[in-house]
Amino acid sequence: MQNKLKRQFGSKIVIGGFVLLLTLAFASLSWASTVTFNVAGFSFDEISGKIKMSYSAGVLSFEIWNTSSIDSSITGFAFNVPDGITGIGVGGFSAYNNDSVLITASGEPPTAPPGWGYLEEINNEIIEGNLGINTPGNFGFFDIAGVTGPSFNGGNVFPAGIQQQLEDPFIFSFILAGDFVGIDVYSFLINSEPKNNNTRTQTFVARFQAIGPDNEDSDIGTYAVPIPGAILLLGSGILGLAGLRKKFIGRG
């Protein structure tokens, strides 16, 4: 009888702890405002970048480093907006280089190089053949892109591009219009459906150009969807609770 009571009590501890961890995890996800992830070159192992992405009150910001181990320049990046959002549009854009100098080009697409501008092809007109911003190498169509030229495929390598191994990042901000209630930064990575049915589709890509000593190659940097820290906490917490229950019952 005593052992049965201990097993029941141990089970209640585990269930109560699981509910608490689940509540904390989802509360953390719902308020997530920043995520950091890496992109890796598709064709070149030496190509890589670090992206710190944040979202708050309609402003989506990116801090971007070129962490490649060989000569290269990031001249563009592209992403999708979350599914199910209506009335979306880019209401403002700014770009600052690693020295905190404003390098925003004018126009859409930008017409005053060297500098960064944006492209916007938010995809409500598929029936009219508008699939979005195309990227090279069959990596898909996108809603919004930061670019250093009139298209994602082109670009201004120097001085506008993000050179490798700079200590400080380039910083970009998009002021977005639309009904973004209940949206956090992960929504732009996890809840944004790729805009075509190609075999390789991503929700964020970066364009690398002037690769190598002769500056003659280019590549696309892709990423794996990051696992939120709250989910990692939940997993480790469940394992801990299971061990606690086993230990508690074993004493009986």
Boundaries of CATH 2.60.40 in the chain? 33-226
pLDDT higher for 83 or 22? 83
pLDDT tens per residue across span 25-67 = 444 444 458 999 999 999 999 999 999 999 998 999 999 999 9
Mention every residue, 6+ apart, whose C-beta is less than 8 A from residue 63.
51, 52, 53, 169, 170, 171
Angle between helices 229-250 and 2-30 (to 10 degrees): 170
Q: Nearest 5 degrees, angle CA 76-CA 157-CA 77?
A: 5
Q: What is the pLDDT of residue 251?
A: 53
Secondary structure class of 64 (helix, strand, coil): strand
Structurally, at CATH architecture level, domain 33-226 sits in Sandwich (2.60)
Q: What is the pLDDT of residue 242?
A: 52
pLDDT tens per residue across span 91-107 = 999 999 999 999 987 65
Distance of alpha carbon 185 from alpha carbon 38, whole angstroms: 15
The percent of residues above 90 in pLDDT, for the chain, comes to: 37
Residue 166, pLDDT above cutoff 90: yes
Span 101-118, average pLDDT: 73
Q: What is the pLDDT of residue 250?
A: 54
- The pLDDT confidence band at residue 228, using thresholds 50, 70 and 90, is low
Mention every residue, 6+ apart, whose C-beta is less than 8 A from residue 240.
none
Q: What is the pLDDT of residue 241?
A: 46
pTM above 0.85, yes or no: no
Q: Which of 52-56, 126-130, 161-165 has the lowest mean pLDDT?
A: 126-130
According to DSSP, the residues that pair with 144 across neighbouring strands are 79, 120
Q: Which of 108-117, 159-168, 216-225, 231-240 has the lowest mean pLDDT?
A: 231-240
The percent of residues above 70 in pLDDT, for the chain, comes to: 63
Closest of 131, 93, 88 to residue 115, by C-alpha: 93
Region class of 213: left (phi > 0), else alpha (psi between -120 and 50), else beta: alpha
Residue 232, pLDDT above cutoff 90: no
